[in-house]
Structure 1
Amino acid sequence: MSDEQLYFTYILASRIGGTLYVGVTNDLIRRVNEHREGTASAFTRRYGVHKLVYFEPHREVAQAILREKQIKRWNRAWKIELIEKQNPDWRDLYEGLV
């Protein structure tokens, strides 16, 4: 994808198999950094959820929001399967972005 505006649906985890958080943003680096600093969400701050384990880009904000809502409705096993298809070791993908 080129210089066009992108939107991202993402999943954060506290650790492998830990607490999960699903979100959407137009600036993935900034948003994950906010989660890490504890300024983005009381939930992620409270449970130490700041490891970026999955993300997918979308060209339209509506697509990203729909995907976020879809994933949020999934059961935990499906979310874990989605993460592990792309990131079987649950590496922190944030490091590769910055």
Structure 2
Amino acid sequence: MSSWFVYMIRCTNGNLYTGSTNDVIRRWHQHRQGDGAKYMQRNEPDELVFVEEHPDRSEACKREYQIKQFPKKKKESLIKNRYHSPDITS
């Protein structure tokens, strides 16, 4: 089994988008090209700000849903306390 990831992207307007994938780099590039989530087609992605690894798709989806319910302040706290950015945004 391969790992799955929950991620957050900060858009140029400051909003946060939360998603899950088994390939964060591929998904980032899809978002940058305007492919994939409709939200990301309307809101330009600026920076990958959070990545969290999970053992399988089910766990990642559960966590994605949980994070999506958080108020923005709690998401910002999660970003601040749990993430070190790899340089994949080029």
Calculate the TM-score normalised by the size of structure 1.
0.80
Contact residue 25 and residue 88 of structure 2 kept, 8 A: no
2:22 paired residue number: 26
Per-residue CA distance 1:7-54 (angstroms, 9 max, x = gap): 000000025x81110000011111111001111222112111242100
- Once the two structures are superposed, the pairs formed by residues 47-86 of structure 1 within 5 Å of their partners are 47-86=43-82
Structure 2, gaps ≥5 residues long: none
* Large movers: runs of 4+ above 6 Å: none
In structure 2, how many angstroms separate the alpha carbons of the residues matched to 1:96 and 1:49? 13
* Alpha carbons 2:47, 2:89 under 8 Å: kept: no
Relative to 1, partners in 2 of residues 1:50 and 1:25: Cα closer, same or farther, differing over 3 Å? farther
For structure 1, the residue ranges without an aligned partner over 5 or more in a row are none
Q: Among all aligned residue pairs of Structure 1 and Structure 2, give the percentage whose two residues are the same amino acid.
A: 32
Query: Which structure shows the bigger proportion of residues in strand conformation?
Result: 2
Alignment partners' CA distance in 1, 2:80 and 2:72: 12
From 4, 7, 10, the equivalent of 1:7 is: 4
Aligned-partner Cα distance in 1 for 2:16–2:59 = 21
How many pairs align?
Answer: 90
CA distance in 1, matches of 2:39, 2:89: 23
Larger CA deviation: 18-27 vs 78-87: 78-87
- TM superposition shift of 1:97: 8.3
Would the aligned equivalents of 2:5 and 2:23 in 1 still touch at CA under 8 Å? Answer: yes
The alpha-carbon distance between structure 1 residues 94 and 42, as it changes in their structure 2 partners (threshold 3 A), is: farther
For 1:56, the aligned partner's letter is E
